[in-house]
Amino acid sequence: MTQPSQSEFLWFLQLSRDGEYIGTREKPPRKPTLPYISSLIETAGEAGFDALLTATNYHSEHENYTAAVAALARTAATDPALLIAVRPGMFHPAMYAKMLATLQNLFPGRVRLNIVTGSSPAENAMYGDNEDHARRYERTREFMTILRQLWTQPPPQSFKSDLYSFEKAVLDPAPVQPIPLYFGGASPVAQQIAADLADVYLMWGEREDMLAERLSQMKALEAQTGRKLRYGLRTHVIVRETEAEAHAAAERLISRVDPEVRAAFVASYAHVDGVGQQRQIEMLSGVGADLMVEPGLWAGVGMARSGVGVALIGSPEQVAAKIRRYEEMGFSSFIFSGYPHLEESRRFGELVMPLLKGKAEELRVIHSDEVAPMA
């Protein structure tokens, strides 16, 4: 008998308009109101998810830290945690350490942090960040080092470099519970930072042979540092009762991709300097007409979305088997998403989570006045 999964499962907290199609000119119909964001957190919890990721993206309708504070205050202490993404170029780490400590102390156990170095200089420039790839990773290392210093060492604390400087900082009280640091990056410098400072090293979905290579590299770094990391995988997911229905849903998702939107998206590749994003672009450029990267992994999301461009796809049994395969490889943290996010989190909870956790989750019925209907 298959043992219940010991992995953690996270969903995506959409902070922009949400809908059933991607790559269209029209704005998706559902607005990211606070009631909707809260319902998404509650529904993901009822579906069996442990936390939700809030991305940091200039094109999102909401700034993610502010939205996270509001959502944590509106939802219950027993609802899932939030994995809050931050770009080190946006905040001084001494101030951000205090902000996160405050949040963890107000909402114990519901705060995690995802460090995002950034893969597009053009997008970084929207925040006033014009540093090159090497400098961004140098800054990321110091940002993470300072967070750990202020959270774990007794005050006062000081730090001085050409990037950051502060004297006799007092962070009191410290976080009531440790704040896990999630971090991803495919370049050698990113992998070394993860081995030295991260709790969870995140990878975007790739072919299994590509993932196995990265895991091997990270295990070698683990041996050098003497630290043990957990490994996380970020993908979308499209699951239906049958494999044929899942592929039909996938085709529907991209059925309205506008050629001009697609062309502009491809043109944006020229501004990418992140190794992980380049790996996604190269991998997706080699797929055939069915957009399958390998069995159970579909590349259609990459036609109109940056970041991870692949989705697990298939019947509940097929998707669960693919996740079990990843667990055998060494992954124990999974971050999923689907369009629209509330309905797809519920669907995953109903169809896949019982196969992973060994029991069905009882899901609350969402009343019609709690969630804005799809147009």
Taken in order 302, 305, 311, 313, the sign of the CA dihedral is negative
Q: How far apart are CA 349 and CA 173, in angstroms?
A: 37
Taken in order 196, 198, 201, 204, the sign of the CA dihedral is negative
pLDDT in tens, 161-214: 999 999 999 999 999 999 999 999 989 999 999 999 999 999 999 999 999 999
Token readout for 1 is 């008998």
Q: How far apart are CA 151 and CA 175, in angstroms?
A: 7
Phi, then psi, of 303 in degrees rounded to 5 = -70, -25
Q: Parallel, antiparallel, or unpaired for β 8-12 and 51-54?
A: parallel
Residue 189 one-letter amino acid: V
HEC readout, 259-299? HHHHHHHHHHHHHCCCHHHHHHHHHHHCCCCCCEEECCEEC
Token readout for 212 is 């196995």
Average pLDDT, the chain: 90
pLDDT confidence band for 262 (50 / 70 / 90): confident
- pLDDT score for 369: 39
Residue whose entry in the numeric block shows the structure tokens 């944006």: 268
pLDDT in tens, 113-140: 999 987 677 777 777 777 788 899 999 9
Residue 18 one-letter amino acid: D
Count CB atoms within 10 A of the CB of residue 16: 16
Q: Which residue has the higher pLDDT, 224 or 133?
A: 224
User: CA-based angle 307:312:314, to the nearest 5?
Assistant: 155
- pLDDT score for 80: 98
- pLDDT score for 367: 32
pLDDT in tens, 107-117: 999 999 999 98
pLDDT surpasses 90 at 353: yes
As a residue count, the chain comes to 375
Q: Parallel, antiparallel, or unpaired for β 292-294 and 333-335?
A: unpaired
Token readout for 146 is 């300072």
- pLDDT score for 370: 44
pLDDT in tens, 27-36: 899 999 999 9
Task: Check residue 18 and report its DSSP letter.
Answer: B
- pLDDT score for 261: 81
- pLDDT score for 57: 73
Q: 204 forms bridges with which residues in the sheet? A: 234
Q: 181 forms bridges with which residues in the sheet? A: 113
- pLDDT score for 360: 42
- pLDDT score for 279: 79
pLDDT surpasses 90 at 60: no
- pLDDT score for 363: 36
User: CA-based angle 206:212:214, to the nearest 5?
Assistant: 80
